[in-house]
Chain A
Amino acid sequence: MNLNWLDAFLISGLFSVVVIIGLALLLHLQLGLTRIANFGVVGFFGIGMYSFGVLFTKVDWPFGDLPAFLVSLAFGTLVAGLSGLLVGWLIADLDEDGVLVGTLGFATVVFILATTEQDLTGGALGLGGLKFPYDVGTVKADEFLWLIIVIIVVTLIFLYVWWVHRTPYGRLLIATGANEPLARSLGKATFRTKLWLFAVGSAGMGMIGALFGVMERFLAPENLGIDVTLAAMVALVIGGTARAWGAVIGGFLIFGFFDIIVQSYIPFPKAWYGQAIPNAKLIVEGLVLMGVLLFRPLGILGAMRRDKLMRRVHG
């Protein structure tokens, strides 16, 4: 298959956008539906990535690459999910401060462990040895196929989130969303399901982290920075936290725009690509985050589109 037409930057650009959309969709489950402000997105992303990567590279698998990959992926996802349960339980009765501390603290702990456990993780230098669970010829072809696979995965995540919206419980969460006392008055069953949704979201983030690690074919703590959490939040917020579509639109709008269009098609001076452009990009992300939350808190799609249930509830 001749992929000369496909720019390597385009693949990695699209991949970044898809990853961010995936994370934003899962953050939507947590922040949009259960109203838990997860400032530790990168923590679940990272723990999934590293659990997967360490298991895959350190174990002497008695079988081939593909089964080893699947087992490791499952492991990474599971570890992230269990972490989600633990963190979710820890922050359950806490107020905003506690949630901030708990989630941010978790992400910091993950970062610390990735750096200190050098024997396992390669420490600050990172861990290589990851590869695609297949080989279709060129590296570019491998990457392209991986991109397709991850697109499919994120689409499945989208469908899951969309389905959650349609369940009675999902509708209930949307309706009570901003009304905390009301939500709290619904009792223990609500709490357990919220915790479950949070854990599922975390598991998904871990899985995405693992898939990201494969694309990079390298694990490094520098990939566990706060800008990952920032990107997911910006994508979610700009599209609107209330609807699943929001994450998708937000991701394409802000990251598709920057990563793909601006970087690929506008001829900036080469010298700028080193630091000036990534720096400017982050400033723009921060400004977008502030701007949207200040002026269009329901996302740039605005207040028009709401679930039918919301209309019935509010008359």
Chain B
Amino acid sequence: MSETNGTPMLEVSGLRSGYHGVNVLKDITFDVGNEVFSVLGANGAGKTTLLATLARLITSTAGSITFLGNNVTRIPAFETAARGMGYVPQERGVFPDLTVMENLNVGGMIGERSREERIDEVVALFPDLGNLSNQIAGTLSGGESRMVACGRALMQDPVLLLLDEPTAGLSPLYVDMFFEKIAEIHQDKGVGIILAEQNATKALEVADRVMVLSLGEAFAVMDAANLTTDQLKEGYRI
């Protein structure tokens, strides 16, 4: 996936969104190109709501989302998935009643490449999955579950991957491993990544650009390298 001629993969403008009548996101505007774009913020800042809205599982109340040049603001979730957006939700990222292999196969329903080829790539990325093929996904450990969730989304051959706090609650070993994989996925496969993270330190290591969310508003959008510690603290302060 090469970078398109400067046109961002994803353009978000004036986005407002929420659920159960509560407006969580207020007027969010940002662009994402073929890069690792990290969304930082404290608990409750709206990271999950943002990603779920982008994935079209939540309908925005105002603003627009443009994906690969097309307006997808009101398009159903399965349509954006078919167009190349992969989504790994925070908690429920696997189908608990299906086996690991079945989980991957669900992801493989979209796209043209052969299933075997894609599975080989996913197993190459997450070697542990090879042994877990027939295990019911609901019985996996936290770290294994995240790998399967990621693998499933990658099976869709996405151009943009939305990861919602993939390392939350995992042991430090898994956390490190995951961030390596994230960098690998972007570099080797050219997949754009939007990474929602609470772990700002690790996220800033892999991110090209960041956006800090604070109470539903975009506090700062800039290159990762330019984000100062003070600015970060400011953003996390409630």
A and B touch in the complex (CB under 8 A): no
Interface positions of A (Cβ within 8 A of B): none
